Structure 1
């Protein structure tokens, strides 16, 4: 579904209307029907984590999805490997949504197709029991600010951050800070996956406009590479301009391992 590009009014993260973010509308707009971009992103991340943990069956693994919001599939990507996954978000309605997804009845049926796609890898397909039960047992929802992760350096050993760093404000400084806080919250050598909207002009959820930072591939690479183990970063461009909505050029997925030297 395409919405008119909102233009990108200058706005810091603290000024954005996060209290008005509607997760049900966001899911309906973006995930009710799986898009080819999500299929490609899942395949990239599934391979990155699967290959690593087959070669390095570390236990226990503590994961985090930063800015989890109304998207469960980053957490799905970590489910076979983690004893605990923190779903971190600052928006109250997102927190409520995430808590409902781990409730007695499990996550909504819209997410079944996403889990099924992960199950094309045996590591996911071979998980015992019901994935809804495992999701409920392994995840915990935490209300918090991404920037506060600077106080929890090296706490998690696996991490994801999807469409967050560039979608929280128009500030390049806050974009860099968000990437830094995410990566430094991981233990040295920890695998990670992050996704970005390239040259985003901002976005709507229902009638509410949210900001975005206009960053290109070189800026994304520079920010991520600063805290990534040398020569491990793989950047993948996914999708065509404006394929999902108006006002961006592509999606970029960055997979790698947290640097050991900083």
Structure 2
């Protein structure tokens, strides 16, 4: 499919999210494991595994914000959660997620194999069927990222992959999206977020969706006010492009700062 980018500013509310085609998106991005996703999975599993080192699982509440048609962020949180919310705005994506909860498709097993190379995931895998656990605790939920302002501090770990920069062309909305995600997490909660670098937009099926042009410095500045210490923000080493219209991928991870340390407006 030829890449094209419409002109003009596109805000999140202007986008026809009902037109998102999750099957086409999965076929293009997740049917086969991409090098970029394998690198993200290794980074996230090590971060979460290190945070919960020596601790029992099944006790925290997790959220994947803007889950789309991607299950691997939820799989990365699976060993430690008593419940996982998959927050998603597109009705088509919600239906896809609901179809996967009972027994997710076999191609997601290749993502789980990357995760279980870490000792914590391997121990979980020895005692638990990940599909059964996924069915028990994962709940798709229709919702808008910006509505998380009403749920500050609710979740104890969280992920947000390719969302804040992939729903708008507005830098203000991008920054507000990152803030809404991080404020929804409890103080000390581990998080991981991924971003398309300098994206010009993307297709999901026949429909084109907007993106905000951000780089490492934009991501770092957006997470910095809400993260303990200096956030880890880095460009992925994998270089093969999944599609046209972007220059790379960025991963950010760390722990949510305490409320008293977050600057007030």
TM-score clears 0.5: yes
Q: Output the TM-score relative to the length of structure 2.
A: 0.93
In structure 1, the partner of 2:214 is: 215
**1:200 to 2:196 alignment:** no
Secondary structure of 1:65's counterpart equals strand
In structure 1, the partner of 2:83 is: 84
In structure 1, the partner of 2:174 is: 175
Distance 1:68 1:140, change over 3 A: same
In structure 2, the partner of 1:186 is: 185
Retained in 1: the 8 A contact 2:87–2:142? yes
In structure 2, the partner of 1:256 is: 254
Retained in 2: the 8 A contact 1:26–1:205? yes
Long gaps (5+) in structure 2: none
Following the alignment from structure 1 to structure 2, what is the Cα–Cα distance between the partners of residues 228 and 56?
A: 22
Q: Output the TM-score relative to the length of structure 1.
A: 0.94
Retained in 1: the 8 A contact 2:20–2:204? yes
1:122-133 equivalence runs, <5 A: 122-127=119-124, 128-133=127-132
Distance 1:43 1:240, change over 3 A: closer
In structure 2, the partner of 1:110 is: 107
Following the alignment from structure 1 to structure 2, what is the Cα–Cα distance between the partners of residues 108 and 255?
A: 28
1:1-262 equivalence runs, <5 A: 3-7=1-5, 9=7, 10-54=9-53, 60-103=59-102, 106-127=103-124, 128-231=127-230, 233-239=231-237, 243-260=241-258, 261-262=261-262
Following the alignment from structure 1 to structure 2, what is the Cα–Cα distance between the partners of residues 244 and 224?
A: 25
How many residue pairs match? The answer is 257
Following the alignment from structure 1 to structure 2, what is the Cα–Cα distance between the partners of residues 230 and 126?
A: 30
Retained in 2: the 8 A contact 1:242–1:248? no
Following the alignment from structure 1 to structure 2, what is the Cα–Cα distance between the partners of residues 147 and 100?
A: 25
After the TM superposition, which segments of 4 or more aligned residues of structure 1 sit over 4 Å from their partners? 55-59, 239-242
Report how far residue 60 of structure 1 moved: 2.4
Secondary structure of 2:53's counterpart equals helix
- 1:172-231, Cα deviation, whole Å (9 max, x unpaired): 111011000000000011100000001000001121100000111111100011111122
Long gaps (5+) in structure 1: none
Secondary structure of 2:75's counterpart equals helix
Distance 1:235 1:52, change over 3 A: same
Secondary structure of 2:79's counterpart equals coil
